[in-house]
Structure 1
Amino acid sequence: MRQAEANYGKLIQASPEAQSARVALAQLQLRGGDAEQAMTTLQPALDGKAPSAEVLALAAEIRLKQGLGAEAERFLARAAEVNPNDVRSRVGLALGQIQKGQEAAGVAALRKLSAEDKGTSADIALISVLARKKDYEAATQAIAALEKKDPKSSTAPELRGRMALLRGDRAGARAAFDEAVRREPTSMTAANSLSTMDLQDRKAEDAVKRYEVVLKADPKNLRAEMATMGLKLAHKLVEKDVAIKRLTELARQHPDDPTPRQAAVGLLMEQKDFKTALSLAQEGVTASPDNPALIDLLGQVQAATGDRQQAISSFNKVATLQPRSPLGPLRLADLHLLAGDKEAAAAALKRAQAIGPGDGELARKVVEKALQMGRPDLALVAVKGLQQAQPKFGLGWKLEGDVARSRRDFPAAVTAYRKADQLAAEAGATTANTELAIVLHSTLIESGRKDEAERYAAAYLAKYKTDELFQYHLGDVALNSGRYPEAEQRYQAVLAANPMNAAAANNIAWLRLRAGKADEGLKFAEQANKLRPNVPPYMDTLAEALAAKGQNAKAVEVQKEAVKQAPSVPAYRLRLAQLYVAGGNKGDAEAELKRLADLGPNFEQQAEVRKLQAAIR
């Protein structure tokens, strides 16, 4: 299978427009259990002008395997439009009936198609619809019907696992995913699901072992190697130097795949080892001179080392090799903007936007960069292009709201955001759009419509009770307004819904300390640091809590680590200086205070610095 993947990969590299090769490679990757990579392979075909019904149906299968049922349904509906005579068109008609409220008829039609057709399009649609209705028993029966068509595949147990998770049956989910692994030990989808559950149980080493099972069955599986290394780095189960060495080995074993080289170069850049990073990036381009991702990586290192002209040359080559990709022009825009050349940056953004006026993510990036350089007019060009290409896609109006908000035209922003919300509802969206909800609520507050903001927040939470991100946002709003009791109530609600939310625990700790309750402050600060170790803001709160409990020596050690992790944040140095003063350590206090004093007006708390300096003289 690896050889077949390599052959299809070379064919695609030679002819990027070849849909049949992309479909074949994506099918291989999906059958090998790597749904994410399959979608990455298929995406250019989906982004093309006329994706085939086969491409769209495969995309639906991938999305269902990833647990994204609503997207799967949308792909099937598009497949029906492309080929009305195909069985997928009948599936699309059934989905259309359901969307129009004729649910019973639509579900019955899907059941009939599932029974008659040897393919899986109807099964995929039926399972998705039943899961969305929370009819888990019927969905499980539909999965059993799907399983009869391919009893050796891992797909059915993977779907059973997802159903079990939706029901809150974690033990059942584990058993189902374990069965998927038994059937297909190379399944990255099952490994990802089990690994996620292990991480939720705070068992990082067990999570790593899930991918080691894949590697035992398929030693050359680069995705499993990268997942293993990513987990080890994130949870400090490997030294960075060891990780760099292994990633470099993988980069040389897989010269055409940029992923391990990108990771190794990223770590080298973090360590400020620009010389080795540049050498490794250049080595990649030498080995694969026409690989756009590797040339882009080289350009990023060149830009970071100040070699602007070479970086421009690299990014221009990326643009030449991928004329239909906005990556090269976007990189050039960033580079010119960093150098203060706004005209050149604007020209690059225009090039990027012209490549894909109907691309939502591209429009988002163009708007963000255009507003960053103070060009709302350029941002609006991208917005209008997206709205014209996809008039029923709410993102175009959300971005229009962002542009209006940047101009402080709050009424226009609210109108645009509400239009985006309306379009989402008309499209049958059933999941929360937290990003849109937050910007709409924030804009209502900024425009002085606080009562309306409160009504909107209440209505939103009544509909999406489990949206912890929006609840957290409301906590931040209350905190920034000085309404500490309300802020704590919001953060407590977040923590009750998700005990793993370290940010909420940290904020509660901070609020408890402000209320003079050091015991509770320390408890929540320790909880935050246990959930997310080595995060400077959380360490800063913990140091404050320890000091409040009279544990100054421990507080100093924690704060020193916070400063080490984030040396450019002067507020952490100030607290460290305060702790040194409190502990009678004048020498170290003087050194930290001098660093802060040297910042001058760039650090707004100079009055506190002078006060501490006077105290130790």
Structure 2
Amino acid sequence: MKLRARRLSLPLVLSVSLLAACGGKSEEELMASAKTALQQQDAKTATIELKNLLQKNPSSPEGRFLLGKALLDSGDLASAEIELRRALEYKHPQEQVLPLLVQVMLSQGQLKKVLSDYGSTRLADKSAQAALDAQLSAAALGTGDKDRARQLADAAVAGDPGSEQASLAQARILSSQQAFDQAVQRLDELLKTHPKSVNALLFKAQLQLRALNQPAEATKTFQQLLAVRPDQFDAHDALLSLALARNDVEAARQQLAAMKKAGVPGGRSALLEAKVEMAAGNYSRAKELVQALRRGAPEHLGLLSMAAMAEARLGNYSEAEALSAKAVQLAPQSSQLRYQHAQALIKLRQPAKALAALKPLLDSSSKDSEALALAGQASMLLGEQKQAEDFFKRASALRPEDQRYRAALAIGQLGRGGSGEAALSELSSIAATEKGTGVDLALISALAGRRDYAGALKAIEGLERKQPDSVDVPLLRGRVQLAQGNLTEARKSFDIVLKKDPKMLLAVGGLVTIDVNEKKPDQARTRLEAYIKDNPKNSQALRALAELDAQLGKPHDQILKTLNEAVRVDPNDAMAREMLLDVLLAGRDAKLTLSTAQAAVAAIPNNVELLERLARAQLAAGENGQALSTFGKITSLMPESGVGQLGTAGVQIINKDYQAAQRELKKLLDVKPDDLQGRAMAIQVELQLKRPQEALALAKDLQTRHPKAAAGYLAEGVVQQELGATEPALAAMRKALSLEQPGEAPLRLHALLRKARRAAEADSFAEGWLKSHPEDTTFGLYLADLALASGDYPGAEKHYRALLAKRQDLVGALNNMAWLLSVQKKPGALDYAQKALALAPEQPAIMDTYASALAAEGQSKKALEVQRQVVQLSPEVPTYRLALARYLLAAGEKAPARQELQQLSKLGKGFPQQDEVNKLLAEANR
């Protein structure tokens, strides 16, 4: 009986299982339940029901679509994108899927991909197409293409005038035009017909908070949004952030609790919890929360920023710098991320890198007070006192309402001229009462900038009382003493720094500067090499060594080797790669330069400085189309900087496509009307298009916008010259000459006087200018080259000797001096030629002069060897072949000399030295 019972148990169990299965929800029931949950904004229940449905029917198109919608509502964007793409694969209608899929992609920052994948998509349903056009408008706006964004917004309105998406697109366009009040008004109109529009309420609140600076109104709108959608993360985030901005940590905790109660997913609530813990000073807990979140999203910008902030608060500045550098690489257009990166670099005493990080935010028209203030701090650490003072003044002028209002006012007074004693007294008073050190730094900068070194040293004593153990104090003291010329005391200060922190490269740099000033270059190099030996992976030290070697005129190959090592030890050091490319761009190896630039951009993809150098390398290699593409990428990364547009216009000018250049410059000047370089280039284009009157109008406009810049007056001088108006041209040049930075005005004025046959006046001007501006090597080099070109060898030699007495790194002067001495059969030619070649190896013109100097010294065999290399590098230059033929004949090699001369003979009248060719050819045939 027991055996029989056991046998009966199996079918009984099966029956129970089948009954249970039959009792579960059907596919239709699960679908209906999920739809009800979505209507009730219960994304969690909808997700469960839909996953159960898809277990029964994995290829259900509607199931995939609704699951994507539920996941989007719950904030799981990555999973939502997967499900929506599957819905498309299973042929769910595009009209339903694409607007949601594009929304997901936009939320993840995939702006370019949205435009490339769906920019030309056309949907049969008008309303769906309008929704898609509205989202494409948002993507175009995000990439900086305002014209396309406006066209798409208009298309959305035309397709579905009363739709939520179309109205939102219009509001975004108004916001991009700085018409914030009108944008809010448009959103209010939308909310009358769609009072529960989450997107409209969110956008309105964000405009009130960020654009209109109306925190009270924004708070009400965010609360209204939460009444409609209690789990809306952005509203909770904003209200919590507003509480933290008031230093009301308790209110922030209450908001956090409300958010958790509303059912916001754990990952998002953990991010805000980390913010609260950060504000409460619980940095370790904040770090722990963020680290857990980053495991699932290692490249999430918000998490990277939070992680960097936590590390900085804990004093782990190296980790903070690495994290913020990665964030900037992912989003180079973000000002906040650049501030964070610069702050970490300043803490690490790497001010040059900090300035490089801030560079895109620091053009002459910058209104970014935070970036300017950080740049002031970095410049202080570099010892650039005048530059630091300028940054501090500009920052203060922009933020007079800041808590350092009195300091801002004082700094502004310093900038208006006069003795500035009252302003300095005010700054001293503020510095004495302020707990922070920002005003102290501004005061030190102001005093040092005015060369009041005694006052600056006294201000440093005040800083020392606040931070007695800070390594910054002796470092700043050493910088001021160095500027003062007190090398002995500066050396003592830098030594103190190194006792506190032996790895402080800025102090080593100070000592190197002292060594150079004391005419001890070998000691300077030894000092840096010793530091590098102890810190072999410090790319900044290697960069410093390369800079020193360039200053000392060391061989080109040695500098390249050092910079390549800097890149090897720190592949993420963008400045090392920039310096390496700058050296290569000055050479002739276009192929090596291009491959090096490509490797740099591959290692650090979105670095605008490296991309700009890649574009230049592409131009040097003749890849103009690729250069245009690279400048276009720069524009998409940083549309407001103008770098990409200027580069694009420059390539179009090279291509002689002046109409295209004109259009590109118009786009630039619409966004940045005061861009000096852009306006100067626009004038050049107008001249090329034979529109001198338009060019003149642009030049006058440039003068109005930048009255202290020489560019506008120089441009007018060129245009007036084009019009044949000599006196107005001279007047414009003289106006440029009177400015603090006259640029090319001395050269242009002198050239114009000579062209007007006023030689005596030109000579008098040149003599007077050199006497009053002995440091102007550019003008001195111009006069020397002019004398050389006119055959005035004694005059040219006089100018070149005067220049080289001041600077030994002027390659052109060294080369021309060598040539002059060689043709005049004077001693010293070879020495000058060797110095020029060391600074610029593999430059055919330099090598040609070197060969002639060797020949003049009787070293004919070596001269022949060098000249063969010259012809190999530049086979298209006939004068190089003629020199080679001479050296071949001198060496008795008539057959190869004859070959070279026969090639030159085929050039006919195209080569004006045919008489010498015929004479040498006759000699070769004898």
Interval of TM-score (by shorter of Structure 1 and Structure 2): 0.7 to 0.9
Task: Provide the residue aligned with 1:453 in structure 2.
Answer: 762
Deviation at 1:574, TM superposition (A): 2.5
Q: Does 1:413 align with 2:729?
A: yes
Deviation at 1:381, TM superposition (A): 6.8
Query: Any unmatched runs of 5+ in structure 1?
Result: 425-431
Query: Any unmatched runs of 5+ in structure 2?
Result: 1-316
Residue 496 of structure 1 is aligned with which of 759, 783, 805? Answer: 805
Deviation at 1:3, TM superposition (A): 2.8
- Show the 5 A alignment for 1:523-602: 524-525=832-833, 528=836, 536-563=844-871, 568-597=876-905
CA distance in 1, matches of 2:404, 2:769: 39
Q: 2:649 is aligned with what amino acid?
A: A
CA contact (8 A) 1:411 1:447 kept: no
Deviation at 1:199, TM superposition (A): 8.2
Deviation at 1:290, TM superposition (A): 6.4
- Show the 5 A alignment for 1:10-409: 10-12=326-328, 18-47=334-363, 51-84=367-400, 86-87=403-404, 89-90=406-407, 92-93=409-410, 96-97=413-414, 99-120=416-437, 123-124=440-441, 127-128=444-445, 131=448, 134=451, 136-143=453-460, 145-147=462-464, 149-150=466-467, 155-156=472-473, 159=476, 162-163=479-480, 166=483, 180=497, 183=500, 189-190=506-507, 207=525, 210=528, 213=531, 217=535, 219=537, 223=540, 235=555, 254=572, 260=577, 273=591, 277=595, 281=598, 312-313=628-629, 315-367=631-683, 383=699, 386-405=702-721, 409=725
Q: 1:274 to 1:76 in 2, by over 3 A?
A: closer
TM-score norm. by structure 2 comes to: 0.54
Q: 2:528 is aligned with what amino acid?
A: R
Deviation at 1:336, TM superposition (A): 3.8
CA contact (8 A) 1:543 1:556 kept: yes
TM-score norm. by structure 1 comes to: 0.77
Q: 1:337 to 1:404 in 2, by over 3 A?
A: same
Q: 1:294 to 1:111 in 2, by over 3 A?
A: closer
CA distance in 2, matches of 1:523, 1:283: 37
Q: 1:607 to 1:520 in 2, by over 3 A?
A: same
Deviation at 1:306, TM superposition (A): 6.8
Q: 1:241 to 1:69 in 2, by over 3 A?
A: closer
Task: Provide the residue aligned with 1:427 in structure 2.
Answer: none
* Rg larger for: 2
Deviation at 1:477, TM superposition (A): 3.6
Task: Provide the residue aligned with 2:921 in structure 1.
Answer: 613
Q: 1:306 to 1:195 in 2, by over 3 A?
A: same
CA contact (8 A) 1:244 1:264 kept: no
CA distance in 2, matches of 1:415, 1:369: 23
Q: 2:887 is aligned with what amino acid?
A: L
The answer to which of 495-504 and 530-539 deviates more is 530-539
CA distance in 1, matches of 2:890, 2:855: 9
Task: Provide the residue aligned with 2:172 in structure 1.
Answer: none
The answer to which of 23-32 and 63-72 deviates more is 63-72
CA distance in 1, matches of 2:353, 2:872: 37
CA contact (8 A) 1:191 1:211 kept: no
Deviation at 1:302, TM superposition (A): 6.8
Q: 1:122 to 1:312 in 2, by over 3 A?
A: closer
| Count of residue pairs brought into register by the alignment | 603
CA distance in 2, matches of 1:334, 1:452: 36
Task: Provide the residue aligned with 2:746 in structure 1.
Answer: 437
CA contact (8 A) 2:318 2:348 kept: no
The answer to which of 224-233 and 1-10 deviates more is 224-233
CA contact (8 A) 2:714 2:745 kept: yes
Write the deviation string for residues 501-527 of structure 1: whole angstroms up to 9, x where unpaired: 55444444444445x452244555456
Task: Provide the residue aligned with 2:177 in structure 1.
Answer: none
Deviation at 1:305, TM superposition (A): 7.0
The answer to which of 342-351 and 83-92 deviates more is 83-92
Deviation at 1:358, TM superposition (A): 1.4
CA distance in 2, matches of 1:594, 1:373: 43
Q: 1:260 to 1:462 in 2, by over 3 A?
A: closer
Is the partner of 1:70 in helix, strand or coil? helix
Task: Provide the residue aligned with 1:518 in structure 2.
Answer: 826
Deviation at 1:580, TM superposition (A): 2.3
Write the deviation string for residues 48-68 of structure 1: whole angstroms up to 9, x where unpaired: 977354433322233344444
Q: 1:495 to 1:168 in 2, by over 3 A?
A: farther
CA distance in 2, matches of 1:571, 1:604: 10
Write the deviation string for residues 456-482 of structure 1: whole angstroms up to 9, x where unpaired: 444434443333333333333443444
CA contact (8 A) 1:536 1:562 kept: yes
* Identity fraction in percent: 33
Deviation at 1:113, TM superposition (A): 4.7
Q: 1:449 to 1:497 in 2, by over 3 A?
A: same
CA contact (8 A) 1:91 1:122 kept: no
Deviation at 1:447, TM superposition (A): 3.2
Task: Provide the residue aligned with 1:2 in structure 2.
Answer: 318
Deviation at 1:600, TM superposition (A): 5.2
CA contact (8 A) 2:475 2:494 kept: yes
CA contact (8 A) 1:353 1:362 kept: yes
Deviation at 1:359, TM superposition (A): 2.4
Is the partner of 2:827 in helix, strand or coil? helix
CA distance in 2, matches of 1:604, 1:154: 67
CA distance in 2, matches of 1:594, 1:198: 57
Is the partner of 1:324 in helix, strand or coil? coil
Write the deviation string for residues 83-141 of structure 1: whole angstroms up to 9, x where unpaired: 33554654653563575333554555555555454555555555555555555555555
Q: 1:69 is aligned with what amino acid?
A: Q
Deviation at 1:267, TM superposition (A): 6.3
Is the partner of 1:519 in helix, strand or coil? coil
CA distance in 2, matches of 1:598, 1:168: 64
